């Protein structure tokens, strides 16, 4: 009994010593981490040595945790899951070396430096997933748009104890179908192009598609064929359908014929396509902070408009955008006015360079097409009252406008928004042009396939729009404008990887040569 009593006393003493030592150890670790954090905050050389680019974020994180360590214990499932994700960072279009992968994936004794570097890695990865790795690049940022609405530091604070890394990434990434389809193809390509034995297929003509082994390889790598070698599955018709899928990917008419345009796209190396996908993932991330109110996104390469309401796609339509010599600028602004039966105020350079030569050859051109001349005092002049032999590109003292009506180049209505450019969305009298695959045809302004439907959505009043549409054949129409109490945000973007009306990924033409690929 006596020996048992002494044993209990000894165990109690050990427990007291252990708890005291543990509390002292925790307190000491917290104090040591606090010293490291202070050094990180005040010593730029130290931050540079650890390759921590944004020490303020790390400092704020541990201040919120009262300087508690979270990665050193080695029991964190979160840490393990993150390192697994980081190993495959290329599937997100990111380079894992930027996030200290080599250091973090090597076995280290638990150190406070490891703690800091792990935290910095996760926060930077989350930040780039959410916000992109470049800043906003609008030609005009009329809304003061900022791509840092999501707070990766807060996400880490709220999830490191119980959360899932993949769930956090899923939340932080753009939710658009275009982004998701782009990433899916990138992930597939990575399984091939990152293999050391990968060789780019060199596609050329062959007697039949079934005999074209290089074509079959390329279509397989891109996911249009289920196999390369199984002759019992591969048939000529299957390869033809796969080729049509490839043509649709590059916005080519899907005829299943290996013509020169199709061959030129097949000649694009997969590593170059991969670089283009990565570039566009970043473009999607930069516009990840579009709010959940109503907004319009016009994408130049796809020449499409989408209207969103609380992140739901309300409508989508074709557009016509600027020619390469008269490009449509990227911008963000808001539609504040809609005008029915607008005048077309012809830009001076268009009037001089495009309309004047025609008028001098055909003296009735202006009159037949509803163009009016406005002199320097604002008076309207008849075109047939002008001696056109005295007018030239160097001497043209007039403004030109086209009267309202069905023949007006702006159609029956236009949507105005603030910008430093003579730019707006508008109807058109050339509906036939929307049947074209490549609709880069305007002088920068954006023509709409379904302007009346868009106006109805914005006004939430079909009767108002119908009333004006019914008047379109009346003589002597004049502009009627409506200011919007609740302006609608408009974003003009440049993204060459987006989905079509069926949700399929399309690589659109880099019409303004902005895809600078390495």
Phi, psi (deg, nearest 5) at residue 468: -75, -35
Residue 182 CB partners (closer than 8 Å, separation 6+): 277, 280, 281, 284, 497, 505
Identify the H or E element spanning 512: none
User: Given the DSSP bridges, would you call strands 424-426 and 344-346 parallel, antiparallel or unpaired?
Assistant: unpaired
User: Please, what is the average pLDDT of the chain?
Assistant: 88
Q: How confident is the model at residue 9 (pLDDT cuts 50, 70, 90)?
A: very low
Place of tokens 């990152």: 194
In tens, the pLDDT along 459-476 reads 988 899 999 888 888 888
Helix (H, G, I), strand (E, B) or coil at 510: coil
Do residues 341 and 477 make contact, with C-beta atoms less than 8 angstroms apart?
A: yes
Question: What residues are paired with 318 via a beta bridge?
Answer: 304
**478 has pLDDT over 90:** no
Residue 143 has which token pair?
A: 């809304």
Q: What is the per-residue pLDDT for 266?
A: 97
pLDDT for position 6: 43
388 or 508, greater pLDDT: 508
Burial 324-361 (b: 16+ CB within 10 A, else e): eebbbbbbbbbbeebbbbbbbebbeebbbeebbeebee
Percent of the residues in the chain that have a pLDDT greater than 70, as a whole number = 93
- Tell me the per-residue pLDDT of 92-142, one tens digit each, with 9 for 90 and over: 999 999 999 999 988 766 788 899 999 999 999 999 999 999 878 899 999
Confidence class for position 12, pLDDT limits 50, 70, 90 = very low
Beta-sheet pairing, 413-417 with 424-426: antiparallel
- Residue 140 is predicted with a pLDDT of 95
| Cα distance between residue 499 and residue 176, in whole Å | 9
pLDDT per position as a tens digit, 38-63: 888 888 888 888 898 888 889 999 99
| Angle between the N-to-C axes of helices 112-131 and 165-172, in degrees from 0 to 180, rounded to the nearest 10 | 30
Separation CA 52–CA 117 (nearest Å): 7
pLDDT of residue 350: 87
Residues 228-277: tens digit of each pLDDT: 888 788 899 999 999 999 999 999 999 999 999 999 999 999 999 999 99
Give residue 19's pLDDT: 39
pLDDT at 11: 40
CB 326 within 8 A of CB 384: no
100-133 burial string, b = 16+ CB within 10 Å, else e?
Answer: bbebbeeeeeeebbbbbbbbbbbbbbbbbbbbbb
Q: Radius of gyration of the chain from Cα atoms?
A: 31
Q: Dump the DSSP string for 80-147.
A: HHHHHHHHTGGGGT--GGGGTHHHHHS-----HHHHHHHHHHHHHHHHHHHH-SS----SEETT---S
The dihedrals phi and psi of 387, each to the nearest 5 degrees, come to: -85, 95
Is the CB of residue 423 less than 8 Å from the CB of residue 462?
no
pLDDT at 232: 80
């Amino acid at each position: 009994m006596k020996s048992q009593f002494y044993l209990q006393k000894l165990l109690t003493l050990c427990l007291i010593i252990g708890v005291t030592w543990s509390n002292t150890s925790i307190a000491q670790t917290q104090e040591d981490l606090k010293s490291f954090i202070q050094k990180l905050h005040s010593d730029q050389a130290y931050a540079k040595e650890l390759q921590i680019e944004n020490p303020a974020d790390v400092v704020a994180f541990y201040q919120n945790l009262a300087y508690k360590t979270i990665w050193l214990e080695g029991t964190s499932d979160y840490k393990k899951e993150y390192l697994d994700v980081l190993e495959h960072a290329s599937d997100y279009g990111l380079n894992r070396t930027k996030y200290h992968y080599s250091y973090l994936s090597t076995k280290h004794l638990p150190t406070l430096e490891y703690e800091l570097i792990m935290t910095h890695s996760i926060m930077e990865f989350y930040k780039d997933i959410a916000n992109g790795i470049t800043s906003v690049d609008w030609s005009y940022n009329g809304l003061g748009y900022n791509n840092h609405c999501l707070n990766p530091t807060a996400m880490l604070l709220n999830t490191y104890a119980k959360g899932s890394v993949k769930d956090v990434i899923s939340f932080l990434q753009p939710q658009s179908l275009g982004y998701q389809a782009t990433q899916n193809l990138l992930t597939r390509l990575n399984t091939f192009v990152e293999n050391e034995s990968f060789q780019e297929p060199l596609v050329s003509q062959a007697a039949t598609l079934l005999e074209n082994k290089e074509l079959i390889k390329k279509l397989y790598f891109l996911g249009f064929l289920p196999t390369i070698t199984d002759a019992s599955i591969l048939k000529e018709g299957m390869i033809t359908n796969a080729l049509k899928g490839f043509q649709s990917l590059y916005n080519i008419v899907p005829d299943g014929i290996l013509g020169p345009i199709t061959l030129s796209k097949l000649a694009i190396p997969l590593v170059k396509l991969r670089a283009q996908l990565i570039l566009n993932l970043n473009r999607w991330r930069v516009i990840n902070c579009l709010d959940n109110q109503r907004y319009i996104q016009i994408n130049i390469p796809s020449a499409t408009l989408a209207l969103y309401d609380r992140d739901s796609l309300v409508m989508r339509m074709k557009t016509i955008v600027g020619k390469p010599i008269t490009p449509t600028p990227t911008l963000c602004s808001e539609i504040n006015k809609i005008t029915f039966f607008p005048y077309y105020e012809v830009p001076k350079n268009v009037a001089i360079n495009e309309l004047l030569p025609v008028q001098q050859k055909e003296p009735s051109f202006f009159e037949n097409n509803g163009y009016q001349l406005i002199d320097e005092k604002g008076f309207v002049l008849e075109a047939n009252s002008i001696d056109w032999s005295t007018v030239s590109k160097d001497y043209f003292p007039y403004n030109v406008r086209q009267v309202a009506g069905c023949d007006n180049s702006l159609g029956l209505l236009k949507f105005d928004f603030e910008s430093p450019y003579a730019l707006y969305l508008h109807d058109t009298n050339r509906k036939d042009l929307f049947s074209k695959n490549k609709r880069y045809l305007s002088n920068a302004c954006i023509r709409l396939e379904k302007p009346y439907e868009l106006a109805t959505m914005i006004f939430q009043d079909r009767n108002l729009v119908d009333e004006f549409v019914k008047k379109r054949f009346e003589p002597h129409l004049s502009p009627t404008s409506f200011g919007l109490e609740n302006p609608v945000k408009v974003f003009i973007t440049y993204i060459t990887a987006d989905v079509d009306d069926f949700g399929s990924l399309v690589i659109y033409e880099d019409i303004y040569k902005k895809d600078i690929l390495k």
